[in-house]
């Protein structure tokens, strides 16, 4: 049996009759950069998230970059980030001439260990960027308390977690900004790149919208230095269609996770995901950990099962950050986690017989 990590072709077939007319409408209007389809999606996703302002942008990476730009982060500033995340989180900090300050993670949730943050704050610290990894939110109360005490910007990297909640409140509404990715493999994926910035501040909304379009506040009137961060009209149309299905897809992910939780409990040394009681996870990934990660990955791949490692090497040890000297620092939980995590199929398109096969092959490996 072949079980892909994610089957976007099957998802497309399910919504093709809704998506293609929406794309055709944009093509007929020729409103291809921003336009009515993007306006419509912004209103819909803002209502879904409960955010006052939702700004469609060119990618999740650009969403993070724009949030930092709008928040005034620049050369010499320090931004606290996890090392166990995708490169975009820290890359945008460095691109602005600011310094990423790497924090270790919690061994259960893989999110930023908030007990360590106070010790990382200096007079140069200007922002904290928690990542809501794998679909579960970071612990926001202590982050917000520190930010308030020290006057810091908070940018939520919610690229993997649209729909995730903490104490019933949607992610993207805790900090000054929420930043989302619509890369095709995300729970809500575009037909290409796309992203979103959310904020509940009128002034930050105004600034971010100017930055999105070269800093213009009117045609050829440039108040700020911005960039070309616009969301395409076709992507807005696609995302509006997919947003209608997001709750259903999310429920299937959570159902699949519950099956894994039960079936893999006590199998070998596997540790299944730990979801904090105050969190509601949307399972962008279902990530197990085991000391035999590489051997298990080889076994599953050899049996036609898609699986992946997010992430095999921490960012503080990557070549691009050698100039910081961070390759010498020790983040023990992050480094151990990189050696042990493995993500297995969890998508809504995963069929019961496929999931049963995955579980059988995992148990076979440990037997």
Widest CA span of the chain, in angstroms? 68
Q: How far apart are CA 56 and CA 66, in angstroms?
A: 11
Whether 132 is covered by a domain: the verdict is yes
Task: Tell me how far apart the terminal alpha carbons of the chain are, to the nearest angstrom.
Answer: 20
Tell me what pLDDT residue 348 has. Answer: 97
Tell me what pLDDT residue 294 has. Answer: 98
**218: which strand partners?**
221
Residues 218 and 354 in one domain: no
Q: Of 210, 243, 276, which residue sits at a domain end?
A: 243
Whether 298 is covered by a domain: the verdict is yes
Whether 291 is covered by a domain: the verdict is yes
Total number of domains in the chain: 2
Residues 193 and 338 in one domain: no
Tell me what pLDDT residue 180 has. Answer: 98
Residues 211 and 285 in one domain: no
Q: How far apart are CA 81 and CA 271, in angstroms?
A: 25
> How many residues are present in the chain?
367
Whether 63 is covered by a domain: the verdict is yes
From the DSSP assignment, how many helices (H) and strands (E) are in the chain?
11, 14
SS3 category, 15: helix
Residues 220 and 75 in one domain: yes
Residues 252 and 302 in one domain: yes
Residues 168 and 213 in one domain: yes
Whether 13 is covered by a domain: the verdict is yes
**165: which strand partners?**
170, 280
Domain harbouring 339, CATH code: 3.90.1150.10
Domain harbouring 166, CATH code: 3.40.640.10
Whether 321 is covered by a domain: the verdict is yes
Q: Of 243, 267, 298, which residue sits at a domain end?
A: 243
Question: Which structural domain, as residue segments, surrounds residue 196?
Answer: 8-103+111-243
Q: Of 243, 267, 288, which residue sits at a domain end?
A: 243
Residues 234 and 254 in one domain: no
Residues 256 and 209 in one domain: no
Residues 308 and 322 in one domain: yes
Whether 2 is covered by a domain: the verdict is no
Whether 1 is covered by a domain: the verdict is no
pTM (two decimals): 0.96
CB atoms within 10 A of CB 57: 30
Residues 235 and 273 in one domain: no
Tell me what pLDDT residue 40 has. Answer: 98
Residue with tokens 């960027």: 129
Residues 287 and 199 in one domain: no
Residues 28 and 116 in one domain: yes
Reading the chain (367 residues) residue by residue, the pLDDT tens digits are 999 999 999 999 999 999 999 999 999 999 999 999 999 999 999 999 999 999 999 999 999 999 999 999 999 999 999 999 999 999 999 999 999 999 999 999 999 999 999 999 999 999 999 999 999 999 999 999 999 999 999 999 999 999 999 999 999 999 999 999 999 999 999 999 999 999 999 999 999 999 999 999 999 999 999 999 999 999 999 999 999 999 999 999 999 999 999 999 999 999 999 999 999 999 999 999 999 999 999 999 999 999 999 999 999 999 999 999 988 889 999 999 999 999 999 999 999 999 999 999 999 999 9
């Amino acid at each position: 049996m072949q079980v892909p990590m994610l089957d976007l072709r099957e998802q497309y077939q399910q919504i093709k009759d809704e998506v293609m007319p929406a794309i055709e409408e944009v093509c007929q209007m020729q409103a291809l950069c921003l336009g009515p389809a993007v306006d419509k999606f912004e209103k819909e996703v803002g209502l879904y998230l409960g955010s006052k302002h939702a700004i469609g942008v060119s990618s999740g990476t650009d969403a993070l970059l724009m949030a930092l730009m709008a928040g005034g982060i620049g050369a010499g500033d320090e931004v606290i980030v996890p090392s166990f995340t995708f490169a975009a989180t820290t890359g945008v900090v460095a691109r602005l001439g600011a310094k990423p300050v790497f924090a270790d993670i919690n061994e259960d949730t893989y999110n930023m260990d908030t007990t360590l943050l106070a010790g990382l704050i200096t007079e140069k610290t200007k922002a904290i960027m928690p990542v809501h990894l794998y679909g579960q939110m970071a612990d926001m109360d202590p982050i917000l308390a520190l930010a308030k005490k020290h006057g810091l910007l908070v940018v939520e990297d919610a690229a993997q977690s649209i729909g995730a909640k903490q104490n019933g409140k949607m992610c993207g509404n805790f900090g000054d900004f929420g930043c989302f990715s619509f890369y095709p493999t995300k729970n809500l994926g575009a037909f290409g790149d796309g992203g979103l910035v959310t904020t509940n501040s009128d002034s930050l909304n105004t600034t971010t919208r100017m930055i999105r379009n070269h800093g213009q506040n009117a045609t050829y009137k440039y108040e700020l230095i911005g960039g070309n961060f616009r969301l395409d009209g076709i992507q807005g149309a696609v995302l509006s269609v997919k947003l209608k299905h997001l709750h259903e897809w999310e429920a299937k992910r959570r159902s699949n996770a519950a099956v894994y939780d039960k079936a893999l409990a006590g199998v070998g040394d596997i540790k299944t995901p730990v979801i904090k009681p105050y969190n509601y996870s949307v399972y962008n990934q279902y990530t197990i950990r085991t000391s035999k990660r590489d051997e298990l990955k080889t076994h599953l791949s050899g049996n036609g099962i898609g699986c992946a490692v997010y992430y095999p090497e921490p960012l503080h040890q990557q070549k691009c950050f050698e100039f910081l000297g961070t390759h010498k620092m020790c983040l023990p939980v992050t480094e151990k986690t990189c050696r042990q995590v493995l993500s297995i199929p969890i998508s809504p398109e995963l069929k019961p017989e496929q999931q049963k096969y995955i579980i059988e092959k995992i148990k076979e490996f440990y037997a």
